[in-house]
Amino acid sequence: MDVVINGERKQIRGGTLLDVLSELELDPRAVVVEHNRKIVRRAGLGGVQINEGDALELVHFVGGG
Amino acid sequence: MTTAVETLRDEPLTIGGRTFQSRLMVGTGKYPDMDTMVRAIEASGADVVTVAVRRVNLDRSKESSVLHFLDPKKIFLLANTAGCYTAADAIRYARLAREAGFNDFVKLEVIGDEETLLPDVAGLLEAAKVLVQEGFKVLAYTNEDLVTALRLEDAGCAAVMPLASPIGSGLGLLNPYSVRTIKRRLHVPVIVDAGVGTASDACVTMEQGVDGILMNTAIAAAQDPVAMAQAMRLATIAGRAAYLAGRMPRREVAMPSSPTRGMLD
């Protein structure tokens, strides 16, 4: 299915948000997920399905002042 | 390292119920490489270290997170909202940062101007009120303006962070009077954030009596960041010690240090 991840159009298999992270080879403990502008807690990632056209933001901490 | 400040009965720095050992806080941006960053943070003695929230690089995620190089058990991660130009964006970034699960502190920045990166104080106050309501410990990056600082304190901010000079400018403490006035009038800790260029700037800033200082570029962009980090550590301690010691009064004319009596004919 087509979704938008971090501003980029992507083709993914779908499933839960946890499945998406696994497909992208991202450690769920190392990212924070915003699904259609709503933050999804780490513990809830396996309970939220991703749908066609959804927008995900996957963020983490980088160097900054 | 033994330091003079330890002989003075200084109180530890407490912000939002957390006590910190060092009055110097450092950023993690703009280092030439991660190894230098880690060694510079160590040399600075800082226990509060700022980080930014950004999108994961989907191609090279492992290399880009700063947490691969820092141990959150040893240092206190202070997330910022750098790069946000509206209250709504800053609130969004703060919420994402808190969800990372380390603490509920945020260094709140709402920038109002691209060239100077000076704060948008209206947006800052708006965001601060919302975040305080949501239980955040807000450390607000602001101008060296007393009235804004008072409003931020009234809004419930855990600390107020007036700038020394614009972010990354290295111009040093441009307005010591205003920073001193803010410190005198506020009850919450005052941490000067941004604009320090070298060790003397840090020292002069701490001599104003502020509770702490936060810097990034002055260390990261030094020719030897690790050596500069150590210099900043010492300067922060020296400035604090001098403030606690209480400087002599200034006078416009000289006064001899040696006796005027007992001179030869």
B193-240, pLDDT tens digit by residue? 999 999 999 999 999 999 999 999 999 999 999 999 999 999 999 999
Alpha carbons B256 and B232: distance in angstroms, whole number:
33
Q: What is the identity of the amino acid at B111? A: I
> Least CB-CB distance to A26: which of B28, B56, B80?
B56
Choose the weakest-confidence range: A7-16, B60-69, B210-219: B60-69
pLDDT at B138 over 60: yes
pLDDT at B2 over 60: no
Which residue of chain B is at minimal alpha-carbon distance from A35?
A: B96
A5 and B57 Cβ atoms separated by less than 8 Å: no
Alpha carbons B28 and B216: distance in angstroms, whole number:
7
Task: List phi, psi (to 5°) of B112.
Answer: -115, -10
- Domain B4-245 listed as CATH 3.40.50.2020: no
User: Could you tell me the domains of chain A?
Assistant: 2-59 (3.10.20.30)
**Which residues in chain A touch residue B217, judged by CB atoms under 8 angstroms apart?**
65
**Which residues in chain A touch residue B77, judged by CB atoms under 8 angstroms apart?**
61
> In sequence order, what E strands does A1-65 have?
2-5, 8-11, 15-16, 32-35, 38-40, 49-50, 55-63
So where are chain B's domains? 4-245
The answer for residues whose C-beta is within 8 angstroms of residue B30's C-beta and 6 or more apart is A63, A65, B216, B217, B220, B221
> Least CB-CB distance to B65: which of A6, A60, A64?
A60
Tell which residue, A16, A37, A61, has the closest CA to residue B68.
Answer: A61
Which residue of chain B is at minimal alpha-carbon distance from A23?
A: B58
Report the percent of chain B where pLDDT is more than 70. Answer: 95
Count of CB atoms situated within 10 Å of the CB of B145 = 18
Q: What residues are paired with B168 via a beta bridge?
A: none
Question: What pLDDT score does B61 carry?
Answer: 52
Tell which residue, B221, B229, B230, has the closest CA to residue B30.
Answer: B221
